[in-house]
Amino acid sequence: MTSEFPRSAPLVSRLQVLEETPSTNDVLVSAAADTENWPDFSVVVTETQTAGRGRLGRVWVSPPRTTLAVSVLVRADASLRIDALGWLPLAAGLAMTRAVREALPARDDVALKWPNDVLVGGRKISGVLSELVVGEAPSVVVGAGVNLSMTEEQLPVPTATSLVLAGAEHPDADGVLSTYLREFRGLVDSFLAAGGDARASGLQAAVTEACGTVGSRVSVELPGGNILAGIARGIDVSGRILVQADGSADLTPISAGDVTHLRAR
């Protein structure tokens, strides 16, 4: 079935295309223990995912063949620090931002929302969910979903959008996937070659530049329910968003939280 994605297939070690699956992440997490048949940068993709999962346990379900769900297996060297792997979902968000921009050349409002959502005109078109796989060497399954042809009536929430709604008359799933995979692999290769150093590899600067959260007024719902309001000032070397809380000169690093943009950059 790789003939459905002729531009994407040569970019990966293995490409498995599924007509339908509950979750591409679940398929790849289960397969990850088989290092011989599922090498680094193996990919599972479908246009019909029936039980996808988002951040904070949210369910991600869409009508058949209206979205693209893709999971990538990244196998890292055993010497890489586990905390460095936290940059992989940010790299995926950046790669998908670039893929969406290429699919929507007439739009100038495609931006990355920390940590790894992609927004078009402030509405979510893509999200990323990563899962650590325990083994002899660290592996991460990086899952991403992008809305291709969903109509307004099919959107799960009014704050979402799709390529069709954003102006792409005939979204090319293989085009989006191949751009995403090319960009993601380039970012990951540079990051791993730099020993997991986001600053030295240029990943920190690239994510910061693409991130529409930086410079915006935000409200962050922290684990435990507390709310932090202020201005997002940057992203540190650990991938955390730095928020200057109202009334404070200090920057608070946030590693996990539900971010709402209150004001555009």
Are residues 144 and 243 both part of a single domain? no
Strands (E), 101-247: 110-113, 117-120, 123-133, 139-147, 217-221, 227-235, 241-245
Please give the pLDDT value at position 1.
45
Strands (E), 98-138: 110-113, 117-120, 123-133
Q: What angle do CA 110, 226, 246 make, to 5 degrees?
A: 70
Burial string for 232-243 (b: 16+ CB within 10 Å, else e) reads bebbbeebbbbb
Chain segment 131-149, per-residue pLDDT in tens? 999 877 789 999 999 999 9
- What whole-number distance in Å separates Cα of residue 134 and Cα of residue 249? 40
Q: Which domain holds residue 236?
A: 214-263
- CATH number for the domain including 227? 2.30.30.100
pLDDT at 94 over 80: yes
- Out of 191, 209, 227, a domain closes at 209
> Is the distance from CB of 64 to CB of 20 less than 8 angstroms?
yes
Chain segment 5-27, per-residue pLDDT in tens? 999 999 999 999 999 999 999 99
- What whole-number distance in Å separates Cα of residue 229 and Cα of residue 37? 47
Residue 84 DSSP symbol: G
pLDDT at 53 over 90: no
- What whole-number distance in Å separates Cα of residue 59 and Cα of residue 229? 27
Chain segment 225-244, per-residue pLDDT in tens? 889 999 999 999 999 999 99
Mean pLDDT of the chain: 92
Are residues 6 and 111 both part of a single domain? yes
Closest by alpha carbon to 210, among 106, 110, 86?
Answer: 110
Are residues 184 and 257 both part of a single domain? no
Q: What angle do CA 198, 211, 81 make, to 5 degrees?
A: 25
For residue 263 the two structure tokens come to: 């004001």
Are residues 164 and 69 both part of a single domain? yes
Please give the pLDDT value at position 57.
53
- What whole-number distance in Å separates Cα of residue 2 and Cα of residue 18? 10
Chain segment 176-204, per-residue pLDDT in tens? 999 999 999 999 999 999 999 999 999 99
Question: pTM above the 0.75 mark?
Answer: yes
Residue 61 DSSP symbol: -
Listed range (65-74, 79-88, 93-102, 168-177) with the worst mean pLDDT: 79-88
pLDDT at 265 over 60: no
**β-bridge pairing 123-133 and 241-245:** unpaired
Between these two residues, 134 and 43, which has the higher pLDDT value?
43
- Work out the end-to-end distance of the chain between its first and last CA atoms, rounded to an integer number of angstroms: 43
Are residues 189 and 258 both part of a single domain? no
> Is the distance from CB of 155 to CB of 108 less than 8 angstroms?
no
Chain segment 55-77, per-residue pLDDT in tens? 545 555 668 889 999 999 999 88
Are residues 166 and 43 both part of a single domain? yes
**Domain total for the chain?**
2
Please give the pLDDT value at position 58.
56
Instruction: Name residue, tokens 């002899």.
Output: 136
Closest by alpha carbon to 232, among 212, 256, 255?
Answer: 212
Are residues 126 and 172 both part of a single domain? yes
> Is the distance from CB of 27 to CB of 53 less than 8 angstroms?
no
pLDDT at 264 over 60: no
pLDDT at 33 over 60: yes
- Out of 172, 193, 209, a domain closes at 209
pLDDT at 96 over 70: yes
- CATH number for the domain including 43? 3.30.930.10
Please give the pLDDT value at position 59.
59
User: Residues of the chain with pLDDT > 70: what percent?
Assistant: 93
Confidence of residue 52 (pLDDT cuts 50, 70, 90): low
Rg of the chain's alpha carbons, rounded to an integer? 18
Contacts of 238 (CB under 8 A, 6+ apart): 83, 86, 253, 255
